[in-house]
Amino acid sequence: MDQLSAIRTFCKVVELQSFTKTAQQLELSVAMVSKQVGLLEQHLNARLLMRTTRRVSVTEAGQLYYQRCHAILTELEQADAMISDHSRRPSGPVRISVPMDFGALKVAPLLAEFYRRYPDIHLILEYSDRLVALVEENFDLALRIGALPDSSLIARPLAQMSMMTCAAPDYLARHGTPSHPSDLVDHNCLLYTLSEPQWNYQQRGYHYQVRPKGAMRANTGRALALAASQGMGVIMQPRFIVEDYLEKGALVPLLDDFELPKLSLNLLYPHRHFLPSRVKCFVDYMESCFKQTK
């Protein structure tokens, strides 16, 4: 038995709670995963996992063994990466989860320059607004916008981004221009489905909460901005979504006397004392690009 390989397989089963998912991620057969765990249990003379047709659970002995083995594997990974990075320039894959609209508008234009600097680093990007599980889905990094859930992940703040309320001049000519957040209840508001259906404003210490309603909802801010520019209604979106429309005059800002909460842009990665240089290169590059973003 290759004990180190069996330990890696066992730890992955614990993390994913599935023999099938472990087999897929390690590119093994389910039978091989089961065999490696079984051989490890025979070697230790202890039951590490309880298997049923529907789930995998960890025994008390398995949990203790996982904690020690996970720490050892992490140290080995860091040692391998340190020596590898010391002997050659950064190379290899970096798998990244990027928000759909922000990724298309702000990250994609930066990738060519990154490649020119680091031609041996291969970026694998998933453009999606879903909250991926970094460790379980084998991502190195995730760019995320907005409030972060409590987790063991490391969050590196990159920027604070402004929100704006906008509408097309044509729409305002037909429906009037709101002068106070409360006026929005009488307007057709185009809503983003992945955030709370509540717009929060502040002015001189007073807070105003609006529950807007409208004839359109979408899970992409770019679609909402386009609809608003065509006179469909009022939107509240990050500046990076609407800035091109503002420059062309297709949208105009509303309620400038009221403040909107800013959105935090963070770069997340698993808790590690040592990041592989290929990952650190991308982290540092993103930080240098977005430190002035508003």
How far, in whole angstroms, is CA 259 from its chain's centroid? 26
pLDDT at 99: 92
pLDDT at 250: 97
Residue 101 to residue 124: CA distance in whole angstroms? 17
Residue 285 to residue 117: CA distance in whole angstroms? 10
- Strand residues in 28-186 grouped as ranges (E): 49-51, 56-58, 92-98, 121-127, 141-145, 154-161, 163-167
Tens place of pLDDT per residue across the chain (294 aa): 788 888 999 899 888 888 888 889 888 898 898 889 999 889 989 898 988 767 888 999 989 989 988 888 888 877 776 666 555 678 889 999 999 999 999 999 999 999 999 999 999 999 988 888 877 888 899 999 887 766 677 888 898 989 999 999 999 999 999 999 999 999 999 999 877 788 999 998 899 999 999 989 999 999 999 999 999 999 999 999 999 999 999 999 999 999 999 989 999 888 655 678 888 899 999 998 887 555
Global pTM value: 0.67
pLDDT at 86: 55
Which token pair is 41?
């249990």
Residue 63 to residue 258: CA distance in whole angstroms? 53
pLDDT at 79: 74
